[in-house]
Structure 1
Amino acid sequence: MHPFHHAASDPGRPAIIMAGTGETLSYAGLEARSNQVAHLLRQLGLARGDTIAVMMHNHIDFLPICWGAQRAGLIYVAMSTKLTPDEAGYIIADSGAKAVFASAALAGVAAAAAPDLPDAARLVIGGAAPGFTPLGAALAAQPETRIADESTGRDMLYSSGTTGRPKGVRGPLPEGPIDAPDGLTGLVAMLYQFSPGMMYLSPAPLYHAAPLRYCMAAHKFGGTVVVMERFDPETYLTMVEKYRITHSQLVPTMFVRMLKLPDDARAAHDLSSLKVAIHAAAPCPVDVKHAMIAWWGPVIYEYYSATEGAGFTSITPQEWLAKPGSVGKSILGTIRVLGDDDQLLPPGQTGRIYFHGGGTFSYHNDAEKTASVTGEHGATFGDIGHVDDDGYLFLTDRAAFMIISGGVNVYPQEAENALTLHPEVADVAVFGIPDAEMGEAVHAVVQPRDMASAGPELEAELLVFIRGRLSHVKCPKRIDFMAELPRHDTGKLYKRLLKDQYWAKV
């Protein structure tokens, strides 16, 4: 259950393939590179429990850096590539990072974010940058053998900050050998058939929790990870066919973009190798998932969890077809649904979702934030929903996004799911805006497939479309258009940024 075993038994097997260039790193190469990283970190003075930050685009060195930190007993913080210097500086300072690994294109941001680190502790990948040491040169001076004091490290990932400053999600540093089994490896073997010889396609940024953790899990099984530099719907289908991909993980916006490809483009690719396509991170409209299962077959699995790892639900494609819209039954923690009075609600009633008795976590340097989402009923990810009589969880929306219009609770996810189905809609956000009479009014911002079509005629067409599918109280009163919505690469929408523009006018 560690890459060093596969480097010994099958050294030539590809561990990482970059989809765009075909650049390949074997298991022997991964072993050598991660050992060099571990030696470099020791040379820089980092010891067990210290922290590094990784601010990189998808690159062949990304995972070896994380494996080097893992075997050196360090905490590795993978950071978004979209951060401003202020945002990046907050995470670097908050995490206590003693070294930063940055892509050359992000070196300016990283330098501004970590002005007090010495040049030797600022490593640049993919080019040169003032104030940084090239990673290739730094590693070339290091041995490829294992360090003498290996111990198990782990990630500390920051929440995406869709409703405020991100917080580092911290769990205990693992004890025991670096190849000790962990909960995730057992989970993916049981639920998703991870096994030796698997071919795993990762289309999302590696700095996000699920892509990083699942790619590293695939390495524990000796699988080959094909990393896309960036997602493109037709390129994704090409990679599945080219490498005979068996496993992948996606987000619903990727499904939507692939479904909107021309029929001949969709039909041109052999996807028969796919055994498991996992999705999570954001709600998937029921009609979109029905369409994907009709196209790919019963290979689409879903889970509901979060970086915090306090709970986990899972649902197979067969279960989902029987319970459309569900995110499954809990396999980590007992689901509790609480009303506004903090009392437990029975099956079928909607309230805040908590997981009791699941995984433990804390927000780094923020006991108040930790206390706000944990308590006697367990921990919450901030979502609203209900459990049916069979124990299946159905999510309604995030509590922070609920709209109260004329005293009526409106969950915008329903309207977003409906508008997504219109052929002229590339993306959509629905939220509440100030209204003198109703308190809040339901409002939509749409990213059209062609911005030239934006205007009163398309707005009228979309309003008629959604009013034919939902009660009028759930429908937007008005629709604005935007060339691109502020969406995280993992599929999460930065709705707060849109709402703030409207509430700032009050």
Structure 2
Amino acid sequence: MNLSHLLESVKAIGVLRARGVSDPKTPLETLRTMKESKIYGPQATLVRHSARVAPDQVALADERGELTYRELDEQSTAIARGLGEAGIGEGTVIAVLARDHRGLIMSMIAAGKLGARIALMNTGFAKPQFAEVCVRENVRAVLHDSEFLGLLDALPADLPRYLTWVDEGTELPADATTLDDLIANNATEDLPAPSKPGGFIILTSGTTGLPKGAPRTRVTPMATAQFVDRIPFPRRGTAMIVSPIFHSTGLGTWLVNSILSNKIVMRRRFDAEATLAAIAEHKVEMLVCVPTMLHRLTELPAEVRAKYDLSSLKVILFAGSALTPELCVKATETFGPVLYNLYGSTEVAIASVANPAELAEAPGTVGRSPITCEVRLYDDQDKPVTARGTRGRIFVRSGAPFEGYTDGRHKQIIDGFMSSGDMGHFTDSGLLMVDGRDDDMIVSGGENVYPQEVENLLVERPEVFDVAVVGVDDVEFGKRLRAFVVLEQGHTVDAAELQAHVKANLARYKVPREVIFLDELPRNATGKIVRRTLVDYEVSQG
């Protein structure tokens, strides 16, 4: 570690104290938490910490009610005991296929207490994907919601499985075991500590193929500093996470909110108006979402939003997919200057955060890097790009990079900076703008085209609700652009008018040759467009 990195780490400790993550009045508790993090991993350590310092504070609120930090700690210990008696222990890989609720949270904590490795599965998986990932990750037990019973047909019949949530009216197998059964039948006294943390595997979005596994064994306190440096988290307050917790942003914000002893509101499925109702009911101070959810919230009629008191809301934190300038402006007009745009990935962790002032200056920006993080741009020859306004490949130095994919591959690293897979540029004032995925770029007639630029222009049209632009094969030009458009309800516009709009604002080679109208775009749980589905879309010739 060079001197500048060391100074950054010292400053990060100051950030943790200033934001209430560590309390200088209780140094022994801070030391104990740091020690436990090297044994249990973050998910169990942070809940154990809050169970000691704020045992009666509500830890989570879901459709089944509320649990305090003491109850969360005790019930997860009972689950860990039950799993341990079934032979699940250190190094065992547990797959969890669950929506956001107490069952998912307690599964993660229990795994930490056993030293088991937890693989967080995508709730949007089809059966072949789920089975293939389970084989690749060497899964030895599955904890799952009852709605996913059908997916488990593809797994060996003798693979241990436990139900994390049971929908009303579900007919369960005769030998089914639920987490409630484990809680009822096991003691809550502390288990012997594992010798090392099991860690967890977060899956990539899988928008271009089978999701890759990105493992992390430990998360340093510096990772928490990166979150709280530029984002004002509540402290012993209330946050609502509607981003899926099986993905990086949802998981990361749950962990930070847990060490701050916050009440965390979660729901199994996102509903725009129900989210506003929960914000009003629980006096939510921070909402964590993805841009598509923010879009749905801003699209609610003004009279619907007016039914709910949203005055408690101080932060809307979003990540997971690109924020269009149009949505940035509209959401700020709707909710006020409370938007925070977090940019990162499963692999590089946090790269940068834009605060409300920066989003007002440059709508859609991802802002600046938090403490202990740094972003650089490199060209195709791996040379640094330093000129403002010049596009380059985005590389990130972070205190929490991943350890290489579970299939043995790794991201490109230059001078200690890891590729994010995106292209971007810095504005004159030093704000980072993401221009699109490196692999989304197409060459059409010898010209480089980034679809995101065309998407941002089209979505500004009042008739357009959602849009995606992809490159498809073309005999003459090599590739050509095809736009997929979802119209606002009650609006109409023809393809020629949208093409003329692009031609009037961008270079001629950026005009989509085709415009296809759809009822909705294929998106995954984190809001990212599944572009391979659109690239393979069969256009009717008749």
For normalisation by structure 2, the TM-score amounts to 0.83
Counterpart position of 1:346: 386
1:71 aligned counterpart, secondary structure: helix
- Contact persistence 1:55–1:80 (CA under 8 A): yes
Q: What is the aligned residue count?
A: 490
**1:95-128 deviation per Cα after TM superposition (whole angstroms, max 9, x unaligned):** 222211011110120242x31543x444453155
Counterpart position of 1:86: 128
Q: CA deviation at 1:8?
A: 4.3
Counterpart position of 2:177: 133
Determine if the alignment matches structure 1 residue 362 to structure 2 residue 403: yes
**1:416-475 deviation per Cα after TM superposition (whole angstroms, max 9, x unaligned):** 12222334333221011122222211111122344x977xx5334433444444343323
- Contact persistence 1:285–1:417 (CA under 8 A): yes
Identity %: 29
- Contact persistence 2:382–2:414 (CA under 8 A): no
Q: CA deviation at 1:199?
A: 0.7
Single out whichever of 467-476 and 78-87 deviates more from structure 2: 467-476
1:28 and 1:322 mapped to 2: Cα distance?
A: 44
Counterpart position of 1:288: 327
**1:283-322 deviation per Cα after TM superposition (whole angstroms, max 9, x unaligned):** 1111221222233222211221111135521221112323
Match of 1:143 among 181, 187, 206: 187
Match of 1:495 among 511, 524, 531: 531
1:58 and 1:310 mapped to 2: Cα distance?
A: 21
1:124 and 1:302 mapped to 2: Cα distance?
A: 32
1:357 and 1:247 mapped to 2: Cα distance?
A: 24
Determine if the alignment matches structure 1 residue 463 to structure 2 residue 499: yes
5 Å-filtered alignment, 1:83-482, equals 83-112=125-154, 114-115=155-156, 117-118=158-159, 120-123=160-163, 125-126=165-166, 127=170, 129-130=172-173, 132-150=176-194, 152-173=197-218, 182-309=221-348, 312-331=351-370, 332-347=372-387, 348-356=389-397, 359-367=400-408, 369-370=409-410, 372-376=411-415, 378-450=417-489, 458-482=494-518
1:108 aligned counterpart, secondary structure: helix
Q: Please, which runs of 5 or more residues in structure 2 have no aligned partner?
A: 1-32, 34-45
2:537 aligned counterpart, secondary structure: helix
Single out whichever of 139-148 and 123-132 deviates more from structure 2: 123-132
- Contact persistence 2:376–2:395 (CA under 8 A): yes
Q: Please, which runs of 5 or more residues in structure 1 have no aligned partner?
A: 175-180
1:404 aligned counterpart, secondary structure: strand
Determine if the alignment matches structure 1 residue 67 to structure 2 residue 109: yes
Q: CA deviation at 1:152?
A: 4.0
1:327 aligned counterpart, secondary structure: coil
Query: In the alignment, residue 422 of structure 2 is paired with which amino acid?
Result: D
1:473 and 1:53 mapped to 2: Cα distance?
A: 46
1:145 aligned counterpart, secondary structure: coil
Query: In the alignment, residue 172 of structure 2 is paired with which amino acid?
Result: A
Query: In the alignment, residue 335 of structure 1 is paired with which amino acid?
Result: V
Q: CA deviation at 1:366?
A: 2.7
Query: In the alignment, residue 517 of structure 2 is paired with which amino acid?
Result: F
1:465 and 1:267 mapped to 2: Cα distance?
A: 35
1:300 and 1:476 mapped to 2: Cα distance?
A: 32
1:194 and 1:37 mapped to 2: Cα distance?
A: 30
Q: CA deviation at 1:502?
A: 5.3
Match of 2:96 among 39, 54, 69: 54
Q: CA deviation at 1:341?
A: 2.4
2:434 aligned counterpart, secondary structure: strand
1:263 and 1:14 mapped to 2: Cα distance?
A: 32
Counterpart position of 1:177: none
Change (3 A) 1:253 1:341: same
1:55 and 1:162 mapped to 2: Cα distance?
A: 19
**1:5-60 deviation per Cα after TM superposition (whole angstroms, max 9, x unaligned):** 43345444321112xx3622222321122111221232122333322110112333
Q: CA deviation at 1:350?
A: 0.9
2:400 and 2:49 mapped to 1: Cα distance?
A: 28
1:355 and 1:11 mapped to 2: Cα distance?
A: 38
Higher relative contact order (CA 8 A, sep 6+): 2
1:395 aligned counterpart, secondary structure: strand
2:211 aligned counterpart, secondary structure: coil
Query: In the alignment, residue 50 of structure 2 is paired with which amino acid?
Result: H
2:485 aligned counterpart, secondary structure: strand
Change (3 A) 1:357 1:83: closer
Counterpart position of 2:119: 77
2:385 and 2:122 mapped to 1: Cα distance?
A: 38
**1:307-358 deviation per Cα after TM superposition (whole angstroms, max 9, x unaligned):** 1135521221112323333212223443222222222222232121112465
1:9 and 1:170 mapped to 2: Cα distance?
A: 30
2:375 and 2:287 mapped to 1: Cα distance?
A: 27
Single out whichever of 147-156 and 303-312 deviates more from structure 2: 147-156
- Contact persistence 1:433–1:502 (CA under 8 A): no
Query: In the alignment, residue 462 of structure 1 is paired with which amino acid?
Result: L
- Contact persistence 2:242–2:267 (CA under 8 A): yes
Change (3 A) 1:190 1:71: farther
Q: CA deviation at 1:391?
A: 3.6
1:136 and 1:359 mapped to 2: Cα distance?
A: 34
2:373 and 2:139 mapped to 1: Cα distance?
A: 32
| CA root-mean-square deviation | 2.6
Q: CA deviation at 1:88?
A: 0.7
